Amino acid sequence: MANFYPKQYQETGQFPINHNYLPQQFSDYEEIWQQVKKVVQQGDFTLGHAVDKFEHTFAQMNGAKYGIGVGSGTDALFLSLKALGVDKGDEVITTPFTFFATIGSIVTAGATPVFVDAADDFNIDAKLIEDAITPRTKAIMPVHWSGNPCDMDEINGLAKQYNLSVVADACHAIQATYNNKGIAECSDLTCFSMHPLKNLNVWGDGGMVLTNNKALADTLYSIRNHGLIDRDHCQTFSYNSRLDTVQAVVAQYLTDNKLNNISGKRIEHAEYLDNAFKSIKHIKLPNRQPNKKSVYHLYMGLFERRDELQVFLNTQGIDAKVHYPVPMHLQPAAKDMGYQKGDFPVAENICDNCLSLPVHEYISQDQLDHMIQCVKDFYGE
């Protein structure tokens, strides 16, 4: 199978109101360049000084003691499961409404994903989890979809009762909070992505695991780096998934200079759209709870006649996108897992009707108003 990204890169950026804003995000790249130069001069390309510093910054920002920089969000999830000892024969409970990587991490760890339907906030329905627990269940992997925290009190309660670990997929949820706590305080291990299309975007792949558990942190520091405890001694033969120093430099720069604005503007824009959309009966917005601070990695809702609306908005210069059209249990990759259409009606309904609109920090007031007007015109409101 060919690499389809070069073509995809050429195609994105065609809309005036776009999901992708990386050229603007890095228009001041000269400042980052200067710091990258130092990395080149020092030559500490993998797990260098800047990685230590950024792990500390990132952990503090999200409410954890320890940060372990890794190669991607997917590796953060995979290595977290491995740190817990998850292996063949184990089950991990998660949602079918997520990105492929959540399930990929479980399967590559050797375990079996067990799906539980989503709720009206588009996250895993905590009320349905207990029925899915078996003697083989090792962990629950909630996904804070679009940056909106899951019902962590309920999930942690079950985890405690059944002696399970909670590994959160927080790849959308940098700087989110739950009951005023940093998102990383709410699970045993919390996993983040810094992929260029995530809220904190680096110049390639990057990820992070956060935890307050020192033993798990020590395991992760080792297993991301061949299982080494020092240069000459290996504790467990393991994997290589280190955060590049260059990416840590980029992430540190964005965190110091831009991240509060990135999150703040997304929240502001999302609230503005919510206000306009909440009275339109053809739109159903996800349930939002006051004790949860979402950072709107995606702004999405359920829109009647979704496919037609998407085409219409595209003709109006708006990059309306579907994240994503097919739930995990109906993917070709899941064909041997024994699921069928109808098994998870809420997740399937989200996939059939959801649409995302850009709310990043470079979206202007005029563009927000244009999006609202176009949606209203479409529904004849």
Ligand X SMILES: *Cc1c(COP(=O)(O)O)cnc(C)c1O
The answer to whether 350 contacts ligand X (rule: CB under 6 A) is no
Compare residues 242 and 370 and give the one whose CB is closer to ligand X: 242
The answer to whether 201 contacts ligand X (rule: CB under 6 A) is no
The answer to whether 98 contacts ligand X (rule: CB under 6 A) is yes
Min dist. Cβ of residue 236 to ligand X (A): 23
Cα separation, 374 vs 311, in Å, equals 12
Phi and psi dihedrals of 300, rounded to 5? -140, 155
The answer to whether 19 contacts ligand X (rule: CB under 6 A) is no
Listed residue (209, 212, 218) closest to 243, CA to CA: 209
Cα separation, 285 vs 120, in Å, equals 9
Are the C-beta atoms of residues 346 and 6 closer than 8 Å to each other? no
Count of Cβ atoms closer than 10 Å to residue 62 Cβ: 24
Number of residues that bind ligand X (CB under 6 A): 15
Taking CB under 6 A as the criterion, which residues in 181-200 touch ligand X? 193, 195
The answer to whether 207 contacts ligand X (rule: CB under 6 A) is yes
Min dist. Cβ of residue 135 to ligand X (A): 27
Stretch that binds ligand X, among 28-36, 46-54, 99-107, 271-279 (CB under 6 A): 99-107
The answer to whether 303 contacts ligand X (rule: CB under 6 A) is no
Min dist. Cβ of residue 199 to ligand X (A): 11
Compare residues 62 and 72 and give the one whose CB is closer to ligand X: 72
The answer to whether 292 contacts ligand X (rule: CB under 6 A) is no
The answer to whether 99 contacts ligand X (rule: CB under 6 A) is yes
- The amino acid present at 137, given as its one-letter code, is T
Are the C-beta atoms of residues 351 and 326 closer than 8 Å to each other? yes
Q: Which of 64, 143, 210, 254 binds ligand X (CB under 6 A)?
A: 143
Alpha helices per DSSP H over the chain:
5-11, 22-25, 29-42, 49-62, 73-83, 100-108, 152-162, 214-223, 245-257, 259-277, 306-315, 345-353, 365-379
Min dist. Cβ of residue 96 to ligand X (A): 12
State whether the Cα torsion 219-224-228-234 is positive or negative. positive
Min dist. Cβ of residue 191 to ligand X (A): 7
The answer to whether 171 contacts ligand X (rule: CB under 6 A) is yes
Residue 325: both structure tokens together: 């059209």
Compare residues 178 and 277 and give the one whose CB is closer to ligand X: 178
Q: Which of 72, 148, 245, 252 binds ligand X (CB under 6 A)?
A: 72
Cα separation, 49 vs 69, in Å, equals 12
Residue nearest to ligand X (CB): 73
Alpha carbon of residue 359 to chain centroid: 16
Cα separation, 370 vs 374, in Å, equals 6
Compare residues 175 and 193 and give the one whose CB is closer to ligand X: 193
- Residues in touch with ligand X (CB under 6 A): 72-74, 98-99, 101-102, 143, 169, 171-172, 193, 195, 205, 207
